[in-house]
Amino acid sequence: METVTIPQNYEIAVQMLADWHSDSSDSSMRILAFPDPNRSIVRLLELSRRFPSVGEELRPVSFGRSHEFPFPSSVILADPDDWQRIERRELKLPDGWDLDQAAPILP
């Protein structure tokens, strides 16, 4: 039976999800967190040349809280060119994602 460490607070949950998704073999990978002021929803934007461009819509993959990960989470996969469009505010972030609060987590 697989043993899973349960994150005890919001900050640990953000780092844990980023660690799970990081790939040391992918030098193009960056992960940014978009903190929730209510410290409830873990939001990550993951950038890599591996991922296809999002096109015209940023649509997160969302998970509800669970016994093993007691925080809802949303993850967007995008390529680095998409990030430039986000920074220029040409691509609209989903509701609740604040570009001014984006914080690099990895590398």
Partner 1 sequence: MTKGAAFFKQAASDFAVFEWMLSQDRTVIPECHVGHYLQMALEKLAKAILIDAQADPGNSHAAFSRLRHHLRRADIAHALGYADFRQFRALLERSAALFVEIEQLHPGIPADFDGPNVEYPWEAPQTVGTDLWLSPVGYRFPIIGKLQRTGDGAALIELIRRIFARYPSTFT
Residues sharing a CB contact under 8 Å with residue 82, sequence separation 6 or more, in sequence order: 47, 53, 54, 58, 91
Asked if residue 20 lies in contact with residue 9, where contact means CB atoms within 8 angstroms, the answer is: no
Using CB under 8 A as the binding rule, whether residue 106 contacts partner 1 is answered as no
Report in angstroms how near the CB of residue 107 gets to partner 1 at its nearest: 14
Single out the segment in contact with partner 1 by CB under 8 A; choices: 32-40, 52-60, 86-94, 95-103.
52-60
**Other C-beta atoms within 10 Å of 5: how many?**
9
Q: Which is nearer to partner 1, 26 or 87 (CB)?
A: 26
Residues near partner 1 (CB under 8 A): 2, 4, 17, 20-23, 46, 49-53, 55, 59, 61-70, 72-73, 75, 77
